[in-house]
């Protein structure tokens, strides 16, 4: 196993940063941006059997978490960070396109009432994140935009009042109760309570959104389509329900919200169909594979320590995101609650 940290350093970063604010608090040392070098991939230690203790190296501990750490305790299907997708069956992939996407579409939900989740992703420099998400059940919608300062949300397209304290919300989504929770100064979330202890959680960590379908069951989501793939076998199924795609970029583009589908967001922003999702070019993709730890304010070791108690089997993705953003608080996207 290789410890591959997906981190790109673009020569025009300082100019791009002046044009657009960066979510998540990314900070790079401009004096160290001149020496872009070839891939530097950290190798795991020779022994992978050490338990987590004070005598083991940090990378030994990382391996132990990956090999023996907590499993997907919430039985989650989710997207988070620099978008990583966790499919129904636990299969993982990344899609870095910027556009509106069908995360989940389940017309059969609750005897035809229907449940749909769409997400809006945004590219910032060399990485991307989920900026906004909408959950639609029946005719009701809850839209949440990342950003702890404003805690922006919309119910059926209308803005909700600013909230600062955890509370049960005075509205429901198609009869399902909703709870708002302030987890910390950098996190808030909305939880929609479904039947049989199933939940939909939309969490904002800084400006990043995590969308998490927890405790999902086949009886509820078995016929769902979208970026979470087929329920039991984790196939990247196209919209026709039969074609199996193998490329994550092709799969992501396939599930772009189409121009003939309902616009669930309260406003139209960014790339819209029939224009295809914006995808980083080949040079940017190659740059993403470069690791220059000394050019970030958070080192690999610091990122690993921040993620160790939060991420479980998502540890590598967590470390990637913390290093890319330069912000240890990003580890909070990987906690169960």
> Domain count of the chain?
2
302 in a domain, yes or no?
Answer: yes
Question: pTM above the 0.85 mark?
Answer: no
| Residue predicted with more confidence, 227 or 74 | 227
131 pLDDT above the threshold of 70: yes
- Convert 34-68 to b/e letters by CB count within 10 Å (16 or more is b): eeeeeeeeeeeeeeeeeeeeeebeebbbbbbbbee
Instruction: Indicate if 19 and 160 belong to the same structural domain.
Output: no
170 in a domain, yes or no?
Answer: yes
Strands 115-124 and 127-137 come out as antiparallel
Instruction: Indicate if 117 and 34 belong to the same structural domain.
Output: no
Instruction: Indicate if 89 and 61 belong to the same structural domain.
Output: no
| Single residue among 201, 232, 254 that ends a domain in this structure | 254
The pLDDT value given to residue 119: 98
Instruction: Indicate if 44 and 193 belong to the same structural domain.
Output: no
Instruction: Indicate if 54 and 90 belong to the same structural domain.
Output: no
282 in a domain, yes or no?
Answer: no
337 pLDDT above the threshold of 90: no
The pLDDT value given to residue 161: 95
Q: Residue 304, by phi and psi: left (phi above 0), alpha (psi -120 to 50) or beta?
A: alpha
The pLDDT value given to residue 37: 26
The pLDDT value given to residue 231: 95
- pLDDT (average), residues 150-165: 96
pLDDT, tens only, 205-225: 888 999 999 999 999 999 999
At residue 74 the predicted structure's pLDDT band, cuts being 50, 70 and 90, is: low
186 in a domain, yes or no?
Answer: yes
260 in a domain, yes or no?
Answer: no
Instruction: Indicate if 244 and 127 belong to the same structural domain.
Output: yes
162 in a domain, yes or no?
Answer: yes
Please give the Cα distance from 82 to 129 (Å, whole number): 5
| Residue predicted with more confidence, 192 or 6 | 192
At residue 120 the predicted structure's pLDDT band, cuts being 50, 70 and 90, is: very high
Residue bearing tokens 């987890």: 183
Residues of the domain holding 117: 77-254
276 in a domain, yes or no?
Answer: no
| Residue predicted with more confidence, 100 or 10 | 100
pLDDT, tens only, 251-302: 999 999 999 999 999 999 999 999 999 987 656 555 554 544 444 557 777 8
Cα–Cα distances in angstroms (integers) from residue 26 to residues 52, 60, 167, in the given order: 30, 28, 31
Instruction: Indicate if 58 and 83 belong to the same structural domain.
Output: no
Instruction: Indicate if 29 and 138 belong to the same structural domain.
Output: no
Instruction: Indicate if 55 and 39 belong to the same structural domain.
Output: yes
272 in a domain, yes or no?
Answer: no
Instruction: Indicate if 54 and 164 belong to the same structural domain.
Output: no
At residue 328 the predicted structure's pLDDT band, cuts being 50, 70 and 90, is: confident
Which is nearest to 219 in space by CA: 336, 334, 93, 106?
A: 106
Cα–Cα distances in angstroms (integers) from residue 1 to residues 43, 45, 71, in the given order: 8, 10, 19
Instruction: Indicate if 53 and 171 belong to the same structural domain.
Output: no
At residue 313 the predicted structure's pLDDT band, cuts being 50, 70 and 90, is: low
Residue bearing tokens 């994140």: 129
Residue bearing tokens 């909703």: 178
- pLDDT (average), residues 303-313: 71
At residue 304 the predicted structure's pLDDT band, cuts being 50, 70 and 90, is: confident
Instruction: Indicate if 129 and 206 belong to the same structural domain.
Output: yes
pLDDT, tens only, 16-57: 333 344 444 333 333 333 332 233 333 333 333 333 333 345
């Amino acid at each position: 196993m290789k410890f591959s940290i997906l981190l790109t350093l673009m020569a025009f970063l300082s100019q791009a940063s002046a044009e657009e604010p960066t979510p998540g608090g990314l900070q790079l040392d401009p004096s160290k941006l001149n020496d872009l070098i070839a891939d530097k991939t950290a190798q795991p230690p020779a022994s992978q059997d050490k338990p987590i203790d004070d005598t083991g190296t940090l990378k030994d501990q990382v391996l132990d978490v990956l090999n023996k750490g907590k499993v997907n305790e919430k039985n989650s299907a989710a997207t988070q960070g620099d978008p990583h997708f966790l499919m129904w069956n636990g299969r993982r992939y990344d899609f870095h396109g910027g556009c509106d996407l069908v995360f989940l579409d389940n017309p059969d939900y609750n005897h035809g009432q229907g449940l749909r989740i769409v997400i809006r992703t945004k590219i910032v420099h060399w990485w991307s994140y989920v900026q906004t998400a909408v959950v639609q059940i029946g005719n009701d919608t809850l839209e949440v935009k990342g950003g702890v300062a404003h805690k922006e949300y919309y119910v059926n397209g209308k803005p909700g009042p600013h909230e600062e304290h955890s509370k049960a919300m005075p509205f429901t989504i198609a009869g399902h109760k909703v709870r708002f929770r302030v987890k910390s100064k950098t996190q808030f979330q909305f939880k929609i309570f479904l039947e049989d202890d199933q939940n939909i959680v939309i969490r904002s960590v800084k400006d990043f959104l995590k969308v998490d379908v927890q405790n999902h069951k086949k009886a509820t989501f078995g016929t769902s389509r979208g970026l979470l793939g087929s329920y039991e076998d984790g196939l990247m199924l196209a919209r026709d329900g039969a074609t199996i795609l193998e490329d994550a970029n092709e799969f992501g583009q396939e599930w772009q919200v189409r121009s003939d589908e309902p616009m669930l967001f309260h406003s139209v922003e960014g790339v819209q169909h029939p224009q295809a999702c914006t995808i980083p070019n080949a040079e940017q993709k190659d740059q993403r594979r470069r690791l220059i730890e000394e050019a970030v304010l958070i080192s690999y070791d610091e990122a690993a320590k921040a993620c160790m108690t939060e991420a479980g089997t998502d540890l590598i993705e967590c470390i990637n995101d913390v290093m890319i953003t330069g912000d240890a608080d990003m580890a909070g996207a990987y906690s169960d609650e």
